[in-house]
A = this chain, B = another copy of it.
Amino acid sequence: MVTQVDDILRRNSLSVTESRKKILNLFLTMHGALAHGDIERKAGEKFDRVTVYRTLQTFVDKGIIHTIPTTDNSVRYALCKDNCREGHHHDNHIHFICIKCGSTLCLEDVSVPEVRLPKGFISSETEVVVKGICNDCKQ
């Protein structure tokens, strides 16, 4: 039986290995973004730190996941939903960090707002991170 995980890996011409399956599965089953630490904790009992680093890097390179900047200087990763492919990410959505539960979410439906820059400035990319209370925590 070919699982969704196997399929994604094959489509990206990656060898199907235990660690890749495990880590990719984490992203498919979890809502929200994962920090490196989360992944290491959840998959790291079985795999080496280095393998986790390399696997994440591979996934980013292939456009399977994308990184999310955070104010506290920790990198988080989330699945790319749309048309990302090798070497090119096209994430035009904003990211939301819940200050209550700490989870990071891609708000796919909220596109990045237009920003009016001063004269002489040319914009090529805009990152928006909103902090607040998420839908699950608003009680």
> With A69-B69, A70-B69, A71-B69 in contact, do A124 and B113 touch (Cβ < 8 Å)?
no
> With A126-B129, A128-B127 in contact, do A134 and B114 touch (Cβ < 8 Å)?
no
Chain B min CB distance to A29 (Å): 22
In contact, B127 and A126 (Cβ under 8 angstroms): no
A16 at the interface (CB under 8 A from B): no
In contact, A73 and B73 (Cβ under 8 angstroms): yes
A50 at the interface (CB under 8 A from B): no
In contact, A130 and B107 (Cβ under 8 angstroms): no
List chain B residues, Cβ under 8 A from A138. Answer: 120-122
Binary interface profile of A, 77-112, with partner B (CB < 8 Å = 1, else 0)? 000000000000000001010010000000101100
List chain B residues, Cβ under 8 A from A117. Answer: 96, 107, 110, 130, 132
In contact, B113 and A107 (Cβ under 8 angstroms): no
- Once the chains are docked, how many angstroms separate the CA of A131 from the CA of B122? 8
- Once the chains are docked, how many angstroms separate the CA of A123 from the CA of B123? 25
In contact, A96 and B110 (Cβ under 8 angstroms): no
Give the residue of B70, B110, B115, B132 whose beta carbon is less than 8 angstroms from that of A124: B132
List chain B residues, Cβ under 8 A from A122. Answer: 132-133, 138
**Could you write out 10 A-B pairs with CB less than 8 Å apart?**
A67-B71, A110-B115, A113-B115, A115-B130, A121-B134, A121-B135, A122-B133, A125-B132, A127-B128, A127-B131
